[in-house]
Amino acid sequence: MKFLLSLLLGVFMVSGAFAGDSSFRLWSLAFPEGGRIPVKYVMPGAGGKNLSPPLKWDGEPDGTRSFAISCYDPHPVARNWVHWLAVNIPATVHSLPEGASGKSMPKGAVELVNFFGFVGYGGPMPPPGTGDHPYVFTVYALKVERLDLSGRFSIKDFEKKLAPHLLDKASITGYFGR
């Protein structure tokens, strides 16, 4: 038993060393890591305008040929509710402006169906009285230019589709509650 625990501890320590080596990063000018998402980025039913927030990234690994994006809510009440999925963002693109979803995504980018049932970004709209929900935005660096995806995916299934092509990923989490 001691051997097994030592082995597992060693694996976790090595994994942690590699995880910290990445220079790939994602940020937003709308909110800091761990900060509150401004109301204009939430659904109209929660008082907002449903604008996708501005996102920027850099430090992707060599060999990146495209990016994908996701946003989901891992709160226990939301059960990994998918707010946004997009693929085929060209490797030359390193930012999305405010409100890009639906009208100014980069040429070739494909937005998928969110859990609200429409294509594109669907901002936060947590049930009242459930506290602050975390919204995890992730950009994925992929070694392929194009993925042939359409429809609706859970975050788990989306990441499974990306996994064979994934070089690295970077995330930022913002919070919203009502």
126 vs 12, higher pLDDT: 126
Q: What is the pLDDT of residues 113-162, one digit of tens each?
A: 999 999 999 999 999 999 999 999 999 999 999 999 999 999 999 999 99
Q: 22-176 adopts what CATH topology?
A: Phosphatidylethanolamine-binding Protein (3.90.280)
Burial class (CB in 10 A: 0-12, 13-18, 19+), 49: middle
- What is the value of pTM for the model shown? 0.88
Q: Look-up: residue for tokens 């294509």?
A: 119
88 vs 6, higher pLDDT: 88
pLDDT at 22: 87
User: In this model, does residue 49 exceed pLDDT 50?
Assistant: yes
Are the CB atoms for 83 and 114 separated by under 8 Å?
Answer: yes
The C-alpha atoms of residue 88 and residue 106 are separated, in whole angstroms, by: 9
Domain regions of the chain by residue span: 22-176
Helices (H) and strands (E) in the chain, counts: 2, 8
What residues are paired with 34 via a beta bridge? none
Are the CB atoms for 114 and 154 separated by under 8 Å?
Answer: no
Kindly state the tokens that stand for 89: 């963002």
The C-alpha atoms of residue 70 and residue 101 are separated, in whole angstroms, by: 12
Q: What is the pLDDT of residues 16-28, one digit of tens each?
A: 334 457 899 999 9
Please state, rounded to an integer, the average pLDDT across all residues of the chain: 92
What residues are paired with 86 via a beta bridge? 69, 111
